[in-house]
């Protein structure tokens, strides 16, 4: 069924990818370096517009066939994974121009891709553009130059298919499971009534092809994105305007680097393009897409400390006063940050978290837990001292950490003292 198997695509990516920086650390200046590499490989790269601050927005083109395929990434500045995948895709096309699967793609379609539509957001690692606008809610009002550009690129060319490339919360689960949705897909409707058409049905088969290709790598870690119609979003309006669009959302996968997810996107997109180029898309069963588990949120947390005895108290006259102790689970989530930045861990839940699952869990039942710099509280940083229960501690001590050295200290997402003392579950 696959002219080029997913395994072969993975091997090609491993040996030929040009993205070298973790996607969350890629700035606009890094993108420009990538694009120079593509140009030196023979890629057709054009500057097509400017961001609010005047940063160049680029479009890469490949092939000269009749089917028009349009992809764009990183309209949300802090959603970077697919930008690197697009760079790698066009690099692989250039490096394998003589390979039959690539010539087939080049003959059957013309591909245009805008990597990093929101360079200002990418450089600040924020969702919105420099005007504070969510470009993906600006498809109708068109107040941002980035949205105006995206609309113009579509309207001037009328592509037959669109790929809208994003990142979703890394704690999104694949259905009611404890598994992260590393990749989620949505065949986007063009209206609230969910009217279907040939392009929509074709896109379902394409997603099925992508899911099947990724199955050997991330089985159980794929989901279907919420399909509610958003009247101001681009994917929805692309579909409405006549460019049936597929939304691809990259999530997280514990223990895997961002580069692994770059590879997953590469395999998925290359698979879809190949299935379009050789007509094999017709053979894929739309049910694979339809039966994907729905994205679920609220269940997964980054870290859960189970059954700790929390020392509660208040700060009075600048000093901690213990009030009571309570046995509870502590749920902590990492905030989204660039890979090279320390990850702030924030306490998001305290209580009975049996219905939640941590990507990492610790059994704190033999320990008392106290906030390191201030009492543990929702919304506060997860800075925690752990003491074995058999120890006698004066919790109101002037300098607790010095007067009663803790058995373990958890700080900025890691054990800075006593790693392994609080056992993993
Ligand atoms: Zn997004």
Q: How far is the CA of 371 from the CAs of 324, 375, 376, 401, in angstroms?
A: 14, 5, 5, 11
pLDDT tens for 140-179 read 999 999 999 999 999 999 999 999 999 999 999 999 999 9
Ion ligand 1 — residues with CB < 5 Å? 76, 79, 166
CA of 381 relative to ligand 1 center, distance in Å? 26
CA of 73 relative to ligand 1 center, distance in Å? 9
CA of 357 relative to ligand 1 center, distance in Å? 25
CA of 76 relative to ligand 1 center, distance in Å? 5
Question: CATH topology for 6-296?
Answer: Aminopeptidase (3.40.630)
pLDDT at 1 (0 to 100): 43
CA of 131 relative to ligand 1 center, distance in Å? 17
CA of 69 relative to ligand 1 center, distance in Å? 20
Angle, vertex CA 182, rays to CA 302 and CA 137, nearest 5: 95
Region of residue 42 (left: phi > 0; alpha: psi -120 to 50; beta: else)? left
Cα–Cα distance for residue pair 118/135, rounded to 1 Å = 8
Residue spans of the chain under pLDDT 50: 1-2
Q: Which two tokens stand for residue 348?
A: 């998001």
Report the candidate in 16, 29, 38 with the shortest Cα–Cα distance to residue 111. 38
pLDDT at 357 (0 to 100): 97
pLDDT at 227 (0 to 100): 85
CA of 252 relative to ligand 1 center, distance in Å? 14
CA of 149 relative to ligand 1 center, distance in Å? 17
Q: How far is the CA of 422 from the CAs of 17, 18, 96, 301, 358, in angstroms?
A: 41, 41, 51, 18, 15
Phi, psi of 384 (to 5 degrees): -135, 145
pLDDT tens for 222-276 read 999 988 889 999 999 999 999 999 999 999 999 999 999 999 999 999 999 999 9
CA of 347 relative to ligand 1 center, distance in Å? 25
CA of 120 relative to ligand 1 center, distance in Å? 15
CATH of range 300-417; options 1.20.1440.230, 2.60.40.790, 3.40.50.1220, 2.30.40.10? 2.30.40.10
Its pTM surpasses 0.85:
yes
CA of 136 relative to ligand 1 center, distance in Å? 7
pLDDT at 37 (0 to 100): 98
CA of 82 relative to ligand 1 center, distance in Å? 11
Q: Where are the domains of the chain?
A: 6-296, 300-417
CA of 84 relative to ligand 1 center, distance in Å? 16
pLDDT at 3 (0 to 100): 56
CA atoms within 13 A on the CB side of 414: 3
Q: Which two tokens stand for residue 114?
A: 């805008």
| Torsion sign, CA atoms 38, 43, 47, 48 | negative
Instruction: Output the DSSP codes for 144-160.
Output: SHHHHHHHHHHHHH--S
CA of 233 relative to ligand 1 center, distance in Å? 10
């Amino acid at each position: 069924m696959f002219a080029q198997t997913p395994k072969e695509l993975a091997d090609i990516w491993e040996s030929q990818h040009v993205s070298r920086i973790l996607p969350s650390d890629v700035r606009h200046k890094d993108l420009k370096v990538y694009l120079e590499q593509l140009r030196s490989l023979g890629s057709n790269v054009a500057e097509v517009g400017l961001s609010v601050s005047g940063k160049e927005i680029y479009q890469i083109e490949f092939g000269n066939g009749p089917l028009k395929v349009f992809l764009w990434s990183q309209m949300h500045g802090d959603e970077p994974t697919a930008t690197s995948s697009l760079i790698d895709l066009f690099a692989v096309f250039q490096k394998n121009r003589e390979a039959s699967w690539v010539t087939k793609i080049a003959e059957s379609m013309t591909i245009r891709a805008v990597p990093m539509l929101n360079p200002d957001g990418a450089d600040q690692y924020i969702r919105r553009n420099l005007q504070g606008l969510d470009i993906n809610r600006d498809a109708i009002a068109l107040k941002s130059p980035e949205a105006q550009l995206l609309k113009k690129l579509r309207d001037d060319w009328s592509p037959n298919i669109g790929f809208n490339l994003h990142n979703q919360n890394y704690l999104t689960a694949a259905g009611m499971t404890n598994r992260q949705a590393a990749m989620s897909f949505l065949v986007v409707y063009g209206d609230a009534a969910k009217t279907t058409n040939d392009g929509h049905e074709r896109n379902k088969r394409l997603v099925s092809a992508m899911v099947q290709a990724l199955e050997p790598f991330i089985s159980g870690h794929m989901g279907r994105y919420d399909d509610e119609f958003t009247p101001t979003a681009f994917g929805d309006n692309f579909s409405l305007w006549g460019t049936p669009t597929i939304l691809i959302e990259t999530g997280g996968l514990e223990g895997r680097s961002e580069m692994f997810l770059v590879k997953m996107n590469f395999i998925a997109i290359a698979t879809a393009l190949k299935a379009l180029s050789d007509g094999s898309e017709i053979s894929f069963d739309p049910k694979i897409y339809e039966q994907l588990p729905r994205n679920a949120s609220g269940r997964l947390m980054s870290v859960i400390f189970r059954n700790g005895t929390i020392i509660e108290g208040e700060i009075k006259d600048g000093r901690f006063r213990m009030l009571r102790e309570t046995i509870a689970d502590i749920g902590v989530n990492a905030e989204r940050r660039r890979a090279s930045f320390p990850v702030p861990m924030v306490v998001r839940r305290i209580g009975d978290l049996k219905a939640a699952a941590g990507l990492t869990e610790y059994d704190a039942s033999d320990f008392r837990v106290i906030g390191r710099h201030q009492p543990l509280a929702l919304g506060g940083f997860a800075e925690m001292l752990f003491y074995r229960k058999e120890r006698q501690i004066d919790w109101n001590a002037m300098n607790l950490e010095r007067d009663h050295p803790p058995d373990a200290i958890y700080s900025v997402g890691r054990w800075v003292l006593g790693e392994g003392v609080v056992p993993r579950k």
